[in-house]
Every structure is written in structure tokens, then in C-alpha cells.
Structure 1
Amino acid sequence: MASLKEVRNRIVSVNSTQQITKAMKMVAAAKLRRAQDNIIQMRPYAQKLGDMLSTVSAGTESSSDSPLKTARPIEKVLIVVVTSDRGLCGAFNTNIVKATLLLIEERYAIQAAKGNVEIFAIGKKGAEAFSRRGFKVNTGFTDLFTRLKFVAVKQAAEEIMHDFSTGRYDAVDIVYNEFKNVATQLIHTDRYLPIVSESATSAKVKTAEVNYIFEPTEEEILAELIPKSLKIMLYRAVLESNASEQGARMTAMEKATENAQDLLKELKLIYNRTRQAAITTEILEIVGGAEALKN
């Protein structure tokens, strides 16, 4: 059985840890509120922009001429992995890493065997995880969350679009956490480039039913819409991940605080039992000594 001093030191240590986790939970809750407001405001804009792009491109034959919509045999792949800069957020980062590895195994095993799969890391945890696994990692935007503004995300999106247009990559996917609520984050694995019109059929029907008047021309509108849509898509993924991170950290710190409280109860019980045993032992020694003197 541990000594009274050891148990007392453990109680002090666990109590300090509980105060830290409680403070981290409060900080995460404050950050979550701001992050949640940002993503709620972004979603309708991103959705409407995507609908506009699908509608215009469905009715424009020259839309397929865009280098960002050009499909070619997949030899080199870039995967944009959005994680956090710090840990202590449960399985948030681990799940993203697992989903990315599963994506590579199922879809890009041949390219990975040739060393043609590169990771574009947004967040330091993802960069560290894939560097340890021997992947080539683009670390130019790992600190994006320290300056989370549209301008910084725009620069990352422009670099990805340029590399795809010049043929450095034949496909670009993005893996991130979508924020649902504080306790739930949904992992998304989306095709980023080349652009694939998911609702091309329905968009063609809408175009046929409604006679749009375009000013300037449809081609000029597409030339502006496609890059902007991709920038907004990446920005939304980063905002979703940021809100998900704060929700995951808040949940993890709440669990840690509860576990610390349970551990404190057990340690105090052990402390009291140890103290009672020590007192009983001392009493028995005194009684034994008194009896020995009497005899």
C-alpha cells in the first residue's frame, strides 16, 4: 500500500490537472462559439455559389475547357489534410489521419507505391503524422490556424490550383472534419480537383426551364466563378475543421475533468484508509508496549 505522503502528492497532482482541464474546457467553449458563428454564416454562401457554378457550367459547352475541370489519367495525387495545431482534442486528429490512410489504400494504392502521393498539410498535427510515415509533405501552410483569415486560405487554394493546372498533380482530394455539434464531427473526403459537376443533370433541366440573361458572357462568369468557388470550398473546410476542433477539445476536456473528479474520490478514500490503518497500527504498538512494561 502507498504511503500517506505518496497518496497526498497524487491528490495534489490530480487536483492541479483538474483545474487545468476545466480552464481548457472554458477556453474551448469560448472559441467554439465564435467558430460556430463563422461556419453557420459561411454555409449558405458556399452552397449558393456552388449552385450558381453548376447552373452556369451545365448550360455552357466551353466550361469543359477550363484547366481546373480537365480530367486526365491519375499519376500524381495531392491530398489536402486539415488537422489541428495542438492535441488534447480526443481522437480528432487520429480520425483524420486514419481516414486519409484509408483513402490512399483504397483509391491511390498504385500511386502511393510509386511515391506519387503528396500531402498538403493544414495543421501541424497532420504534417507531423505523415512526415513520420514517410510521405512527402507540403508544410507551407501548416500554421494557417494562427492566422485564420480568408486571405491566407486564398493563397493556399491558389497554390493548389496552379499546381493542378500546370500538371504537377492529376487529382486533388481534401479530408476534413465537418462540424455537426459539440460532440459529433463528421469526416468528409471530397474531390477538390478536377471539378466534377455532381448535379449536372438537374442543372441542365433548370437551365432549360429558365432563360437566364448573362452579363458579361457565360464564359467570363465561369472564369471568375470556378476559382472563387474553389477558394470558398477550401475556406469552408478550414472553418468546419476549426469549429470541430474546438467542439472535440471541449468534449475531451469535460471528460478529463470528470475522470479527474472520480480519481480524486478514489484517492481520498485510499488516503483515509491508509491514515486509519496507520493510526490503528500506532495504537496497537502503544498498547503492546504498555502490556510489555506491565508484565
Structure 2
Amino acid sequence: MPSLKDIRIRINSVKTTRQVTSAMKMVSAAKFKKAQDDISYIRPYVGRLAGIIYRLSGSLEEDFELEWSEERVDNKILLVPVSSNRGLCGAFNANVIKEVERLCKVDFKLQNALDNVDILTIGKQAQKILKAHGYNVINDHNELYSDVNFENVSHIAQELMEAFSIRKYDKIVLVYNEYKNAAVQILRTEQFLPMELPECDGKVDCNHDYIIEPDVPTFIKKVIPDALKTMFYRVILESLASEHGARMTSMHKATDNATEMLSELQLQYNKARQGAITTEILEIVGGAEALQK
């Protein structure tokens, strides 16, 4: 049985840990609220923008060619996992990393065997693990989290679009966590490029009441690059909100576990202390009886 000193040391250690996890929980809660607001603002905008493009593109002629929707043979693949720079957020990062490994081993097994799968990470956690596992991490944008805004995110989106435009990559895939609530994140794997545009096959209402100047093809060519940047910005905000929600939930559970452990340790300490006092009393009584004899 551990001594009173050992139990006291452990109690102090757990108290310190609980203070840290409680502080991290409050910090994440404050950041989570802002990230949640950002998501609530951008989701309707992106949804409406995608809806307009979806309906207009369905009315285009079959011979219409758009650079960003060009289908190619999947020879060269770029995976973009969006993780976090810090840990202590449950399975948030692990899920992204596992999905990237699954894509390399299953969906793009042939390309990976030919060393034609590159990885560009956003977040130190994915970069560290994927490099350690021997995957081809060519670059990172971990600095993005120091100042997340549309301008900084659009630079990364532009970089991806240029890589696709010059045919450096035939397909670009994003892997990230979509925000649902503070406790639940949905892992998403989305094809960023080529952009999938619908065809008017009768199932989609291709009629529209938009007034387009000068014409639909010109409008589509002009708006899609900006739309791609906006959609990529939404992905980053989704991941950011998911990260703070996951960390807040994880630290809340850790704080509760520390509180429960403190109760158990305090009970163990009281029992040990009571046992030590009882032993001392017995020794005193035994010593007194020995002196009387």
C-alpha cells in the first residue's frame, strides 16, 4: 500500500493537471464560440453560391469546356489533410490521418505504388505522423492557423488551382472534419479539383430565373475560381470549429476524470491516515502495558 507521502504527491499532481485541463477547456470554449459563428455565417453563402453554379452549369451546352472541371486520368494525386497544430483534442487528428492512409492504400493504391501520391498538410499533427509513416509530404501550410482569414486561405487555394491548371496533378482531394456540434465531427473526403459540375439530365431543374450578363458560360468561367476559394475557406472554418469543439469536449472529460480521481485518492489517503493513526495508538498502548509489567 502506498505511503501517505506518495498519496499526497499524487493528489497534488492530479490537482495541477485538473487546473490545466480546466483552463484549456475555457480557452477552447471561447475560441469555439467564434468559430461556430463563422460557420453559421459562411454555410448559407456557400450553399447558395453552389446552388447557383449547379443550376446554371446544368444548362450549358455539352461541348462547353471548363478548365476546373476537366476530367483526366488519375495519374498524379494530391491529398490535402486538414488537421491541427496542437493535440489534446481526442480523435480529431487521428481520424484525418487514418483516412489519408486508407486513401493511399486503397483508393489510390496503384498511384501510391508508383510514388504518384503527394501530400500537402495543413496542421503540424498530420505532417508529423504522415512523415513518420513514410508518406510523401511535399509541403505544409501550418502557419495558416496563426491568422485564419479569407486572404491567407485564398492564397493556398490559388496554389492548388495553379498546380491543377499546369497539370502537375490530375486530382486534388481534401480530407477534413466537418463541424456538427461540440461533441460530434463528421470526417469528410471531398474532391476539390476537378470540380464536379452536373449535366442537365431531366432530374435537375436546369431552368433558372437569373439575369446573366453577358452570358452563362462567361459568368461560370469568371465565378468558379472565386467559388473554389470560398469553398476551401469553408473547409478550413469547418475544421477549425471541429478542432475547438473536440478539444473543449476532451478537456471537459479530462477535468471530470481528474475530479473523480481526486475523490478516490482522498478516500485512499483518509484510509491510510486512519490506519497509520490506529497503528500508532496500538504501539503506544503496547508500550504502556510493557512498562506496567
Match of 1:290 in 2: 288
Match of 1:258 in 2: 256
Deviation at 1:226, TM superposition (A): 1.4
Cα distance in structure 2, aligned partners of 1:133 and 1:58: 43
Q: 1:203 to 1:240 in 2, by over 3 A?
A: farther
Match of 2:243 in 1: 245
Match of 1:177 in 2: 177
Q: 1:127 to 1:64 in 2, by over 3 A?
A: farther
Question: Of 213, 229, 254, which residue of structure 2 is paired with 1:215?
Answer: 213
SS in structure 2 opposite 1:115?
Answer: coil
Residue 99 of structure 1 aligns with an amino acid whose one-letter code is E
Q: 1:265 to 1:197 in 2, by over 3 A?
A: same
SS in structure 2 opposite 1:129?
Answer: helix
Cα distance in structure 2, aligned partners of 1:56 and 1:10: 65
Match of 1:27 in 2: 27
- Of Structure 1 and Structure 2, which has the larger fraction of its residues in helix? 1
* 8 Å contact from structure 1 (residues 178, 240) kept in 2: yes
Match of 1:269 in 2: 267
In structure 2, stretches of 5+ residues that fail to align are none
Deviation at 1:144, TM superposition (A): 1.1
Match of 1:137 in 2: 137
Residues 84-233 of structure 1 mapped to structure 2, 5 A cutoff: 84-198=84-198, 200-201=200-201, 205-207=205-207, 210=208, 212-233=210-231
Q: 1:203 to 1:32 in 2, by over 3 A?
A: farther
Does residue 1:76 correspond to 2:76, yes or no?
Answer: yes
SS in structure 1 opposite 2:12?
Answer: helix
Deviation at 1:211, TM superposition (A): 5.9
The two structures have a TM-score, normalised by structure 1, of: 0.94
1:21-59 Cα offsets, whole Å, 9 max, x none, are 111111111111110000110001111111121222222
Q: 1:75 to 1:239 in 2, by over 3 A?
A: same
Cα distance in structure 1, aligned partners of 2:229 and 2:286: 84
Deviation at 1:62, TM superposition (A): 7.4
1:102-131 Cα offsets, whole Å, 9 max, x none, are 222221011111211111111111111111
Residue 257 of structure 1 aligns with an amino acid whose one-letter code is T
Q: 1:271 to 1:98 in 2, by over 3 A?
A: same
Match of 2:17 in 1: 17
In structure 1, stretches of 5+ residues that fail to align are none
Cα distance in structure 2, aligned partners of 1:50 and 1:185: 22
Q: 1:202 to 1:95 in 2, by over 3 A?
A: farther
Cα distance in structure 1, aligned partners of 2:51 and 2:181: 25
Does residue 1:279 correspond to 2:267, yes or no?
Answer: no
Q: 1:4 to 1:128 in 2, by over 3 A?
A: same
Residue 158 of structure 1 aligns with an amino acid whose one-letter code is Q
- After superposition, the CA RMSD in angstroms is 1.7
* 8 Å contact from structure 2 (residues 57, 198) kept in 1: no
Deviation at 1:200, TM superposition (A): 4.9
* 8 Å contact from structure 2 (residues 58, 206) kept in 1: no
Cα distance in structure 2, aligned partners of 1:60 and 1:196: 14
1:65-121 Cα offsets, whole Å, 9 max, x none, are 222111111111101111111011111101111122222222101111121111111
1:144-183 Cα offsets, whole Å, 9 max, x none, are 1111000111000010011111111111111111111111
SS in structure 2 opposite 1:197?
Answer: coil
Match of 2:40 in 1: 40
* 8 Å contact from structure 1 (residues 84, 93) kept in 2: yes
After TM superposition, the structure 1 stretch with the greater mean CA deviation from structure 2, 278-287 or 190-199, is: 190-199
After TM superposition, the structure 1 stretch with the greater mean CA deviation from structure 2, 195-204 or 233-242, is: 195-204
The two structures have a TM-score, normalised by structure 2, of: 0.95
SS in structure 2 opposite 1:119?
Answer: strand
Match of 2:57 in 1: 57
Deviation at 1:61, TM superposition (A): 2.8
Deviation at 1:213, TM superposition (A): 3.7
* 8 Å contact from structure 2 (residues 58, 198) kept in 1: no
